[in-house]
A and B are shown apart, each in its own frame.
Chain A
Amino acid sequence: MSPIARPFVAYFTREQDVLAATGAVRKAGLVIRDVYTPYAVHGLETAMGLRRSRLGYVCFFAGLTGLTSMLFFAWWTSAVSWPLNVGGKPFASIPAFIPVTFEFTVLSAALVTVSALFGVAKLWPGRVADTLPRVTDDRFALVLESMTDDNRARALCLEHGAVETGWLEALPEPRLAALPGVKG
């Protein structure tokens, strides 16, 4: 028991343990704040009930914008702004514009998608990290939303192989808003 509501944390050393514990805790109706892992643990996002990332749409529309703008630009410069006769080819030689259009599509899609990731995940150069001990090295940390009574959470985590449990003084600064899908 804690006099004030504080976040609960459990540390694991094996991937399968943290996966099982996350599933069990969520099934028991406890609210998961986040799970911190040294590498991308596949299946954890399902266990946490996270929604599939929608950055794919950003990528698609960025690519589409890049495609249309470069195709338009190549056409406009070659056929409108200053039409030059190059070997008698048509001014609007669309097939010849495709390679550059393709490259620009890929470039805009890649740059915009990565920028969107940095924006959504609030990552930027020099941002101070609030890392839990050893989670970038060899431990997995399951963090639950603030509570006063941790008996159930502690029991569940220990049952699934937690090597250490405890309270956090404060939540690690939230990176992403809790999604409705996470609860329960």
Chain B
Amino acid sequence: MSAPAFSPLRVPLVDPPRSMAAITEEIAAPLWRRPSLAFWALFAVSSSALLLGVGCVSYQIAIGIGTWGLNRTIGWAFDITNFVFWVGIGHAGTLISAILFLFRQKWRTSINRSAEAMTLFAVICAAMFPLIHMGRPWLAFWMFPYPNSRGPLWVNFRSPLLWDVFAISTYFTCSAVFWYLGLIPDMATLRDRATPGSLRRRIYGLMAFGWNGSTRVWNHYEMVYLLLAGLCTPLVLSVHTIVSMDFATSIIPGWHATIFPPYFVAGAVFSGFAMVLTLMIVARTVLGFEHLITVRHLENMTKVIIVTGGIVGLAYATEFFTAWYSGNPYERFTFINRAFGPYAWAYWTMVSCNVLVPQAFWVKRIRTSPWAIFLLSLLINVGMWFERFVIVVTSLHRDFLPSSWSMYRPTFIEVGTLIGSFGLFLTLFLVFCRLLPMISIGEVKGVLAYAQTRDSSTQRTQGAA
């Protein structure tokens, strides 16, 4: 067979190069090691935050939504802000796992596993907020159309809130299946690495589904992986589109905008990549994966941030322009009030973090410095949280009737719930890092030869090592 020609310009994805056995060893090793002190410190912080959240949510369920700072004018505030924020975080994982796969971006291999895990955990955090906002979360199953003794009274298929139920649950299910499918070959690797007869081997063996690396199975597997990537790509776009329709189908000035779907999707990818960067920079340092998640990976992600940040900035400008150009006095008022009203501080935090901060990534030195990226990504996370806060709260707090004008301030319970959602997210992520391979072992092996020509002599020494 003819050897595929590789460009000498390609930069290796694993740098410095390693043998396949070394890849297995170093990705699996953290699962065998006892947790480090740094892990326990992080775990203590995150599980304490989670505990605070559990306390606040329990109190809210016991007492009622009155424990929140909502009022008749501002009926949606912190919980919906957090919901949209967390759903958005999840989008980067699917973008990396599905869209970059379809675009044949090989660099995704060392970040897709943890980014997809992040998607799942972020969707869990997101789903929590509408659930607790129901007030009677034990009746949450009423959201699904099932034959019931009330008529049967069906759900309203014309409501974007119902679309959300289907979008979020489909998104979670498909992401979980996609993620698990990618895990199966790695589970087999871990199973075969574990001591025969050990509990670890039995558990990984159970999860590996009897995988033995057969090419006949790989042939089907690759097809299914491709199909799932193809299904998840429109799915991820639909999820934030539908989330944006929760707002856009209403007639509230500031919400009723046709730009919302693309604006929300871009914002979701933007915030998601910021969160991936935040987590990856910590994880690669703590676990010593700097040669697998290289500076080039980080740099590529900052480039996605520049693009999506640009789209978000353009959307802010377009919204303002449309508010002025529409001639609608309510729409104009809402936007002038956003920028110069009582919540102007939130608006300008959002603009500085989301439009100005990403511009720093045009500078190569910043783009290639992990700590600079880490700090900037934190700022973007803050900015994107404020974006949702600005959209939800500033559009509501000045009603059509000045007599209903009001202000919103979160209570301790709401702040505690937000902190708790971060606690849940980080705790799940830390547990994931301890129990499952954080990087896809099989896929990284597949890109070891990415930058080399097939007849290079370095390959033989690598394989024999």
Contact residues of A with B, CB < 8 Å?
A: 13-16, 19-20, 23, 34-41, 43-45, 47-48, 50, 52-53, 55-56, 59, 63, 73-74, 77-78, 81-82, 84, 86, 89, 93, 96-97, 99-100, 102-104, 106-107, 109-111, 113-114, 116-118, 120-132, 134-138, 163, 172, 175-176, 179
Contacts and interface: CB of A to CB of B under 8 A. Distances in A.
B219 A50 contact: yes
A53 B449 CA distance: 26
B228 A114 contact: yes
Contacts of A55: 220, 223-224, 227
Given A82-B151, A123-B211, A100 B166 contact: yes
A56 B166 contact: no
Contact of A106 (B152, B170, B208, B463): B170
B238 A102 contact: yes
A36 B214 contact: yes
The 6 A-B residue pairs whose C-beta atoms are closest, nearest first, are A127-B210, A13-B463, A138-B20, A53-B223, A77-B154, A123-B209
B223 A100 contact: no
B222 A40 contact: yes
A14 B460 contact: yes
B216 A77 contact: no
Contacts, number: 230
28 contacts: A14-B460, A16-B454, A35-B215, A36-B215, A37-B218, A38-B20, A40-B446, A44-B218, A56-B227, A59-B227, A77-B154, A77-B155, A82-B151, A103-B163, A106-B232, A110-B178, A123-B211, A124-B210, A125-B206, A131-B192, A135-B213, A136-B191, A136-B211, A136-B212, A137-B20, A137-B189, A138-B445, A176-B217
B231 to A, nearest CB: 5
Interface stretch (B48-56, B180-188, B365-373): B180-188
Nearest to A45: B219
Given A40-B222, A106-B174, A78 B158 contact: yes
Contact of B156 (A84, A104, A124): A84
Contacts of A125: 206-207, 209
Contacts of B192: 129, 131, 134, 136-137
B214 A137 contact: no
A20 B232 CA distance: 35
A17 to B, nearest CB: 8
A100 B210 contact: no
Given A36-B213, A45-B218, A78 B174 contact: no
A69 B461 CA distance: 56
B221 A40 contact: yes
A96 B160 CA distance: 9
Given A36-B213, A106-B238, 7 more contacts: A48-B215, A50-B216, A53-B220, A104-B166, A106-B234, A121-B220, A136-B189
A65 to B, nearest CB: 14
Nearest to A78: B157
B42 interface: no
Given A36-B212, A123-B210, A124-B209, A93 B158 contact: yes
A129 B208 contact: yes
Nearest to A63: B231
A134 B227 CA distance: 29
A84 B155 CA distance: 10
